[in-house]
Amino acid sequence: MRRWLWIGLIGLVVLLWARSYWEVYAEQGLFIWFGTDFRHYTAQAMALRLGDLETVYSRVSGVKYGQPLVVYSNYPDLVLEATLVPYPPLFAWLFIPFTLPPPPLGFALWTGLNLLAVAYLTWRVASCLPAAWRPWAAFVVVAAFPNGYALYLGQVMILLGCAFVECYLALRAGREFRAGLWLACLLFKPQYGVLLGVLLLWKRRWRVVAGVAAGGAIIAVASLLIVGVQPLLALPAAILDLTERFSGAGTQTHPEDMVNWRKLVRYLAVGIGRLGPWITEDQAVLLTVALSIVTGVLALVAWRGPWVPSEPLFPTTMALLLLATILASYHSHAYGPMLLLAPVATMFAAGQGSRSTRVLLLVMAVLPSLLWVTVFRGYIVALAVLVVACFGALLAEVWLARRAPSFRPS
């Protein structure tokens, strides 16, 4: 009976997500907001597929190969956002099969692949917990806002989330070179690996670093073989092109949809004016940078002492580092917190964290989803605030654990 109750609860969550997708589809059609990242990926992959290498890292590809997808929307005269994708060329090459069928079918196939990735993520996260807790894990993964949001956009982050789970579990098992190979997958979105990279260098985890270097070399060589030298040299400029002005709804990077200090400072100081007109945009940028530096330093200081992946506090400090990464990154959207799933699961399994901290982490996963499927507003702000709250809670947990008389670092 209890098993069927969990199946029914998870099924209800899936139905609520599906209903919300359908409502947006009925209003807008495809590729305006529902499947917008799939449209961006399609434009770049089409440029590569057709040999238009000069536009692979140009917004021109968004106009030439992304704009035609407007016919699948309810607004065929709308001018879609011209964009570019700052990932290594290997990604565009791997994405080409999804551009071969008509775009709606390609999007369906891409979504199917990501649904399989969600199932895999659920299985791997559940395996971190005792059998009695695994239905909870399945519910949380399915209900977690970052997963549902990534599916909605057609984002690649769920696949990268699977890679990070394997990296984290390999670190816990002491298989450091393998962990580094999996971590190299984050080179497609390197902002999520910056603090972890600093930590690995500080702790002299050279086998992990070697694995990242090997994986990075594979990506670089494959990308070079795919497009040659000249298009590959345009990648750094493409990344800088996405470093737009701090605020302003409608910019390509959409800071209004992020869950970092940039989002919160913009929301309070620039976009809404809650802190008063005396804060200029330049001052808000400085405040964001200062908060990001302090956040990163606090997370790294929490790692003082030896590197012992098997110790009970390791999952908590890893989750803290990931929360700091999400907050401090200048480009950090609402699908980033899915990286927390495995560290938080092993943290619960190790008996770490107070009840209030655990509840707060669960609320961070589920509340934005509830706001999305009901009122369809406030979910980004809620998630950003909860990321800050969870960072503070985990920082306090680590500090109290290290000060406890019973704490003995290995």
pLDDT over 50 (residue 410) = no
pLDDT at 250: 44
Judge whether 410 lies within some domain. Answer: no
Per-residue pLDDT, averaged over 362-372, amounts to 95
Judge whether 408 lies within some domain. Answer: no
Per-residue pLDDT, averaged over 240-267, amounts to 73
Q: Please, which residues bridge with residue 29 across strands?
A: 73
CB 338 within 8 A of CB 147: yes
pLDDT at 44: 96
CA atoms within 13 A on the CB side of 163: 19
Measure the CA dihedral 313/316/317/319, to 10°. Answer: 160
Rg (CA), the chain: 21
Per-residue pLDDT, averaged over 337-347, amounts to 96
Domain count across the chain? 1
pLDDT at 243: 65
Gap between the Cα atoms of 138 and 120, Å rounded: 11
3-state secondary structure of 333: strand
* Segments forming the whole domain that contains residue 53: 2-403
DSSP for 37-49? HHHHHHHHHHHHH
CA distances from 399 to 320, 325, 390 (A): 11, 19, 14
Query: Taking Cα atoms as reference points, which of 325, 400, 301 lies closest to residue 357?
Result: 400
Region of poorest pLDDT, from 218-227, 247-256, 300-309: 247-256
| Res. 272 pLDDT band, cuts 50 70 90 | low
| Res. 377 pLDDT band, cuts 50 70 90 | confident
pLDDT at 270: 59
pLDDT at 3: 75
Judge whether 168 lies within some domain. Answer: yes
| Res. 401 pLDDT band, cuts 50 70 90 | confident
CB 182 within 8 A of CB 193: no
* pLDDT tens, position by position, 381-394: 999 999 999 999 99
The rounded mean pLDDT for the chain is 91
* pLDDT tens, position by position, 152-198: 999 999 999 999 999 999 999 999 999 999 999 999 999 999 999 99
Judge whether 263 lies within some domain. Answer: yes
Per-residue pLDDT, averaged over 229-239, amounts to 85
Report the 10 Å Cβ neighbour count for 8.
Answer: 10
Percent of the chain with pLDDT over 70: 93
DSSP for 335-367? TGGGGGHHHHHHHHHTT-S-HHHHHHHHHHHHH
pLDDT at 236: 85
Judge whether 409 lies within some domain. Answer: no
pLDDT over 70 (residue 274) = no
pLDDT over 60 (residue 82) = yes
* pLDDT tens, position by position, 102-161: 999 999 999 999 999 999 999 999 999 999 899 989 999 999 999 999 999 999 999 999
3-state secondary structure of 234: coil
Per-residue pLDDT, averaged over 314-318, amounts to 96
CA atoms within 13 A on the CB side of 137: 27
